[in-house]
Amino acid sequence: MKFTFTAEQESFATTLDKMLTSADTVAIARAWGDDDTAPGLALWKRLADQGVQALIVDEESGGMGASPVELAIAFEALGRHAVPGPWVESVAYLPMALGNGDVVEALAAGAVGTVAAAGSSQRALDADIADHTFVAKDGSLMSGAPGERAHSVDPTRRLFALTEGEDVAHGDLDAAFDMAVLATSAQLLGVGERLLADAVAYVKQRRQFGREIGSYQAIKHQLADCRIALDFARPLIHGAALTVAGPEGARDVSAAKVAAAEAAYRTSRVALQVHGAIGYTQEFDLSIWILKVRALLTAWGTPAAHRARILSALTVGA
């Protein structure tokens, strides 16, 4: 498959990246992890003004009516800049799960939504600050009330159990799940790209035995393997963005999630190794992305669950 972005998509990616680069997202992520959500919500509003939350919402509901490709572009940027918050839930899952209505219009305008989806994401991100909270379970969608807070390996992922409420009219929950998987895959790709960029920059400046450590073949090979893994994951994500609404969408988004998770995890391990002991410290910014990879590995489906979906899709009728 030959895949290139249009000029408009390239411009969207560049504009979003520049905006997030100037927003000091590292400080925002650290504050979010310390329960100071005000800076993150201010960025949430800025991104809403740019239409990010309205990407896949129909124009009739106040959205942009964009394609999943634009969604993947946005989530790669959100991952690269470690932007905290229930982005997958608000922007990818709920607009599809709800179909239409006042809540979808509110989400497109910048309201914060979250969901606990049984079988994939048992707890809801940032339910204490969300305007709309839901529980997806057994093919139904229900309102939800925040309950006990749970610990996450990623401090910026503030997890809450939800108490189930009344049933809510919903759209296609399976399609919503696939869209969430696609967004998470793109987010993992962005995280992996940032980790590789930081690792490459570091090995060019750190010196041992009179030379930059990046000049050693062993380190070059490790970083090259990361580059290859990320480059193999990228077309799977873009391909899945084109097919997610079709009959092979479930298989393709699962393949994208498996590849993106493996690539990001490999890159996180190599980035940690080349940085040495400093990479373990919370004070060093690298930890923000390393911990995010660990949390996203199992968000919206474990690698084993997605491999099972791929196997099932390939063996049906065999």
Q: Tell me the average pLDDT across 259-278.
A: 96
**What are the structure tokens assigned to 310, written together?**
């791929």
pLDDT of residue 318: 61
Residue 146 bridge partners (DSSP) = 162
Across the chain, what does the average pLDDT equal? Answer: 95
Helices (H), the chain: 7-21, 25-33, 38-49, 68-80, 87, 94-98, 102-109, 173-203, 217-243, 249-275, 286-296, 303-315
pLDDT of residue 143: 96
State the pLDDT confidence band at 278, using cuts at 50, 70 and 90: confident
pLDDT of residue 2: 62
Cβ atoms of 239 and 252 within 8 Å: the answer is yes
Question: Looking at 16-25, 117-126, 295-304, 308-317, which range is the least confident one?
Answer: 117-126
State how far the Cα of 298 lies from the Cα of 283, in Å rounded to an integer.
25
CB within 8 A of 306, min separation 6: which ones? 181, 254, 255, 257, 258
Specify the fold of 174-316.
Butyryl-CoA Dehydrogenase, subunit A; domain 3 (1.20.140)
CB within 8 A of 303, min separation 6: which ones? 257, 258, 261, 262, 297
**pLDDT tens-digit map of 124-179:** 999 999 999 999 999 999 999 999 999 999 999 999 999 999 999 999 999 999 99
pLDDT of residue 123: 93
> Kind of pairing, strands 132-137 and 124-125?
unpaired
pLDDT of residue 1: 57
**pLDDT tens-digit map of 70-86:** 999 999 999 999 999 99
Q: Tell me the average pLDDT across 241-268.
A: 97
pLDDT of residue 277: 83
pLDDT of residue 316: 77
Positive/negative CA dihedral, 239, 240, 242, 247: positive
**pLDDT tens-digit map of 101-131:** 999 999 999 999 999 997 777 899 999 999 9
State the pLDDT confidence band at 279, using cuts at 50, 70 and 90: confident
The answer on pLDDT for 91 being more than 90 is: yes
Q: Tell me the average pLDDT across 265-280.
A: 93
pLDDT of residue 317: 59
For residue 106, count other CB atoms closer than 10 A to its CB: 17
pLDDT of residue 246: 93
State how far the Cα of 130 lies from the Cα of 126, in Å rounded to an integer.
6
